[in-house]
Amino acid sequence: MIKRLGKYTLEFEDGIGITGYGAVAGKKESEGMLGGNFDKIIYDSYAGQKTYEQAENVFQQEAFERALSRANKKAEDVDMIFAGDLLNQCIGSSYGLKSFGIPYLGIYGACSTMAEGLIMSSVYLASGAGSCCACVTSSHFCTAERQYRFPLDYGGQRTPTSQWTVTGSGSCVLENSKNGIKISRALIGKIVDYDVKDLNNMGAAMAPAAAVTITDFLRDTKTVPKDYDLILTGDLGEVGSKCLYSLLEDDGIDLKGIHNDCGLMIFSRERQDVHSGGSGAGCCASVLCSTILPDIEKGKYKNILFVATGALMSPVSSQQGGAIPAIAHLVNIRK
């Protein structure tokens, strides 16, 4: 069962175990800071398929299969799978996962999807509805770029605030397990709109959502940043991370020294031309499942906050003058 702490925080009384995880990434990611951590590198952007969208399906399948294998489970052991991605109508997930024959609930949280999937899986398991759940998400530079921005051949100049969409996927298998890595608390974010309209500055658009979510969680749980080994945001990048520090400072919350951002971790911003950092639903998913969860398992971290952020606009809403509404979901992971 779940208890409520304060206004928004959910507490899983016995914790929900993350018993398996898998992360798959592309060539550019393999050349970044975490290259050695991924379970598999797919060097071909097409992953042997005819289109980039079909390649993204393969990334999801491979990540999910690695998560299954680490949990020592088969697809038929999984009661429910929560999945989504950035592609219109979430075809990365529906085509990627259809062959597994698992009851499927599609979710859409843009780049916050990994945290959304972890929360939904945890709620599902806490309700007694099942004993084994999974979540998956992905992004692919080539599918995202051509859907959200420009044709790939166009070679448009990128602004310094822009981020580079990660080609990668992450997946977790969750169970009602008392040992190992556990989700102990979570907070489901509200949609926050600070009227940022620059599509090349997603970090600035999403930082306010992260600030609201972190503030709500710390207030609800009566904790401070120093109570955690790491506060890890999804993909704010350099610009968004600075916005976040500034917004939280106004509330007297200092994240420096405790905060990192998946968008800042995955690439080498010195060697690789990614401007403000990495982004995409596959960014925080693949960083979490390749690096952070193993580090928790090894004891490097004992108590972290994973705060995945998402920008909920579309090219159409932007063309119609809409600002970028954002959301941040938080998962407290411990060992």
Which residues would be at the binding site for its own copies (CB under 8 A)?
A: 1-4, 8, 10, 50-51, 53-54, 80, 84, 86-91, 94-95, 97-98, 101-110, 116, 119-120, 123-124, 126-130, 147, 187-193, 312-317, 320, 322, 325, 327
In the complex with its own copies, which residue's Cβ is closer, 88 or 159? 88
In the complex with its own copies, which residue's Cβ is closer, 41 or 91? 91
- Tokens 């401007």 correspond to 275
Least distance from its own copies to the Cβ atom of residue 291, Å? 26
- Tokens 């972890």 correspond to 118
Least distance from its own copies to the Cβ atom of residue 180, Å? 21
With CA atoms as reference, report the closest residue to 322 among 202, 149, 198, 197: 197
In the complex with its own copies, which residue's Cβ is closer, 90 or 264? 90
What does DSSP say about strands 230-233 and 303-311: parallel, antiparallel, or unpaired? parallel
Q: Which residues pair with 259 in a beta bridge?
A: 231
In the complex with its own copies, which residue's Cβ is closer, 95 or 245? 95
Task: Please state, in angstroms and rounded to a whole number, the distance separating the CA atoms of residues 1 and 19.
Answer: 19
- Tokens 């995409």 correspond to 280
Least distance from its own copies to the Cβ atom of residue 172, Å? 17
DSSP for residue 173: E
In the complex with its own copies, which residue's Cβ is closer, 34 or 308? 308
Q: Give SS3 for 255.
A: coil
In this structure, what token pair is assigned to residue 267? Answer: 């690439």
Q: Which residues pair with 18 in a beta bridge?
A: 174
Least distance from its own copies to the Cβ atom of residue 174, Å? 14
Least distance from its own copies to the Cβ atom of residue 134, Å? 13
Task: Please state, in angstroms and rounded to a whole number, the distance separating the CA atoms of residues 185 and 10.
Answer: 5
Least distance from its own copies to the Cβ atom of residue 30, Å? 26
Length of the chain in terms of residues written = 335
Least distance from its own copies to the Cβ atom of residue 217, Å? 12
DSSP for residue 148: I
- The amino acid present at 276, given as its one-letter code, is S
Is residue 104 within 8 A of residue 124, CB to CB? The reply is no
Is residue 234 within 8 A of residue 112, CB to CB? The reply is yes
Least distance from its own copies to the Cβ atom of residue 38, Å? 26
In the complex with its own copies, which residue's Cβ is closer, 166 or 192? 192
In the complex with its own copies, which residue's Cβ is closer, 87 or 248? 87
The answer for residues whose C-beta is within 8 angstroms of residue 252's C-beta and 6 or more apart is none
In the complex with its own copies, which residue's Cβ is closer, 100 or 267? 100
Is residue 26 within 8 A of residue 57, CB to CB? The reply is no
